[in-house]
Structures are given as C-alpha cells and as structure tokens.
Amino acid sequence: MRRSGGDEVAQMLLAEELPLSQAESQLLELAREFSRREVGPNAARWERERAYPRETIRAAAGLGLTRIQIPAALGGLDLRFRAKVRVVEEIARDDFAFAFALVNTHNAAARLARDGNDSQRARYLDGLVRGELIGAVSLTEPSAGSDFPAIRARAERVAGGWLLNGEKAWLTNGAAVDVVVVYAQTDAAAGARGIAAFVVDAKRKGFERGAAYGLAGAHAIGAAGFKLDKYFAADDDVFYAPGAAFKNALASITGARVYVAAMCCGMVEEALGLALARARSRSTFGRPLIERQGLRWMLADVATDFEAARLLAYRATRLLEAGQDAVLAAAHAKKFATRMAERRLPECMQVFGAEGLMEAHPIGRHLAAARAAHYADGTTEMQNERIAAYLERGIPGGLSDA
C-alpha cells in the first residue's frame, strides 16, 4: 500500500523544524524514497508472516543509514543526532518496527566506533555498517527492566578475561543479532558501580539464542531473549569497565527516548494524512466527510497534538546536541508522544470505518506499535518518575530555554 495523504501533511503541518545540512537533507530524502519503495510495501507481510526484515536492513545500510553518527575517519557520515531523529521519524511513517530494528543496528555500530577498542572495531564495525551483521545493546532481563541496577547477569574475572552467565530479555534484533553489547554485574555489592559492558559474539560458544517473541504487532523489531552460559569474554572484549558502564547506558537511553518520541510523531503524521485524503474523497448523504464538523474538529485535535509532540521531541534533540541535560526533556517528549499516538491513531482510523481494520491500511499496525513504544527505553511510569524528580528539585515542569 502506498501513501495517499501523508506527504501532503508533511507540507501542511509545519511543526518547528530541525534545520538540516545539505548532506543531512540528502540522506533524509534517500531514506524517504527507500522507505516508500522497500518498507511500506512489505511491512504488512512482515507482520503477517512473523518475519524479520534482515535483507531490507542490509539494503538500508547500503544507502548509509547505518553510518549516520559514525566518524568519517571510520567510514561513516559524521552527521548530527538530528539526522538520525529525522530519518527514523520518516521511516516510522511506514513501519515503526523496521525503523526501530534499523536504528538499533546503527546504534551498536556508532557505539563501537565511538567507544570500542581497535580489536572490536576491526572485528565488527565494517560488518555492522554494511548491514552484514545485526547489532544490538542488551540491558533488560526477565526480572530487571527499568530497574537497571538490579540486573543479575554476572561477569566473573578469570585468567585472560571474564566468564559471563545470565539471561537477557526483550532484546531488539534478538531474533537475528550477531553482535551484542551486554551489560553484566561484576560486583553485586557495588551496585550500579559494579556494572560493566562486554562485546558478545552471538556465534561463539556460550551464547544461546531464544525464539523470537510472538508479539501482538511490531514483529519486525525481532524481539527475543538469550542466555549466556559460561561465555568467555577476553579482556579486549570489555566495552565499558565497571564504573563507566552505568553512566553510558543512561546517556544512551535518554537519546533513545527522543527518537522513539519522533517515531510516534511519524506514525501519526502518516495516519492523519491518510485520514484527510479519505475524508475528502468519501461522501455521505451527499456531502464529503471533510465537511462534517465533528470529523473536522476531531482531525484538528489530532493535528494540534501532533504539533505539540514533535515540538517536544525536537526540543529534546537540540538539548542533546548542545550537550545539555536532556533527561527531563526526553521524558516529557516520550511520555507525551506515546500517549498522543495511542489516543489519536484510533481517531484517524475512525475516518475509514470498519475498513480501517483491514491489513491494507497501516493505521492498525501503527496503533500496535504505539503501545510497544510505551515500553521501549523506559515505561511511561518511568518518564513520570524522571519528571517528578525534577519537580521535587524545584524546577516547575523542568522547562528552561534551550
């Protein structure tokens, strides 16, 4: 199915822009064309067949979409965080799940480029940026999600390296992952300070992949778990030493909350465009639907919330790029955008009547993805905790000029 109205909305609803450089604009246009050609026409099939879109991720990598934040000296595009935000926002208009799977491989490559050692980069970086390897970062466990310091995976010091044991859950790309940055506890008494991170090769002995989760929507995320059973990580597999890992994990989560918010905006932008096109083309009792006041006002409310959500996401993007504290801004953005998407997507679907439930229309799939977005990189309740902590410190709403 191809779009019939989403592109028009992109011109109509001019939320505050994140100005792009020429190189960033060119990449965004490549991503837009690729998504329309490869992602949109296949997204429903991936969901129906419970398929992971590995070959399409490789094709996206061929366009540079896994090189966005990688330094030019290492074969990357060396673009800003905003370029990644805009790219995944655009691709999410066709399929949130694919965009999320792609950005997680990109993030694994970007982390390796920025923080990995020469040995790690030599083994994995080229494969990740080419899309020949699928990457991921693993924090969550069956009994430790938002409570990250409570992880139970253990790293025991042995001659020449570490033995890793434990179980991880809800790994994006887990169904096909090749390279994982795994967080594990080296000293339970030290709490968060004892957590370290390791580069783990899914092909090595001791890595046991679980089956893909049977998700109710967003299957292309490839969510799965895995176990580590006496997995040996050599000293040059250490990615973040104890004391540094926890801080780096929190920083990455803040960025993820921002682009998840933008991806929710992408889904709503597309749904609103489709709803408007439908409302103009269909008549009831001799009048186009778009002339019905109740429907017009409903879509006007969708447009207002979309504008507000994207402003929050873009503001958090600017704070991150400026090196300022973006924790609160990211919490506001993700909380509002996920709630906005879950509330407003059904209103766009309503314009289609029962036909909106059909696979040919993407809005039902977007609605399932909006629910998934509530859990990704910290639940809505965790965003409230972050916001409340700033309020407790005497920062009303936490809002200050960027």
Encode pLDDT of 249-260 as tens digits. 888 899 999 999
**Per the structure block, which two tokens stand in for 188?**
């339970």
Over residues 57-79, the pLDDT tens digits come to 999 999 999 999 999 999 999 99
Could you tell me if 277 and 5 are in contact, meaning their C-beta atoms sit under 8 angstroms apart?
yes
pLDDT for residue 262: 98
> In angstroms, rounded to a whole number, what is the distance separating the alpha carbons of residues 70 and 130?
13
Q: What is the pLDDT of residue 8?
A: 52
Q: Which residue intervals of the chain bear CATH 1.10.540.10? A: 13-134
CB within 8 Å of 208: residues ≥ 6 apart: 226, 227, 228, 229
Phi, psi values for residue 201, rounded to 5°: -95, 120
Longest dimension (CA), the chain: 81
Residue 254: which H helix or E strand, with range?
Answer: helix 245-281
pLDDT tens digits for range 319-334:
999 999 999 999 999 9
Q: What is the pLDDT of residue 6?
A: 52
Return the pLDDT at 363.
94
Q: Where do the CATH 1.20.140.10 domains begin and end in the chain?
A: 246-398
Cβ–Cβ < 8 Å for 269, 6: yes
> For the domain bounded by 13-134, which CATH number is listed?
1.10.540.10
Task: Give the pair of three-digit tokens for residue 371.
Answer: 């629910």
323 SS3 class: coil
pLDDT at 397 over 70: no
* Residue partners of 284: CB distance under 8 A and separation at least 6: 292
Could you give the residue range(s) of every CATH 2.40.110.10 domain in the chain? 137-242
Reported confidence tier of residue 384, pLDDT bands at 50, 70, 90: very high
List for the chain the helix, strand, coil content (%; round to 5).
60, 15, 25
The pLDDT score that the predictor gives to residue 12 is 47
pLDDT at 15 over 90: no
CA distance 88 to 320: 17
Predicted confidence at residue 1, as pLDDT, reads 38
Q: Are strands 135-138 and 179-185 parallel, antiparallel or unpaired?
A: parallel
Q: What is the model's pLDDT at position 13?
A: 45
Check pLDDT > 50 for residue 227. yes
Does the domain at 137-242 match CATH 2.40.110.10? Answer given as yes
What average pLDDT does this structure show over 135-143? Answer: 90
Identify the CATH assignment for 246-398 out of 1.20.140.10, 3.40.640.10, 3.40.50.300, 1.20.120.1200: 1.20.140.10
Residue 396: what pLDDT?
A: 62
Interval 194-214 mean pLDDT: 95
Checking if the pLDDT of 310 tops 90, the result is yes
Average pLDDT in the chain: 91
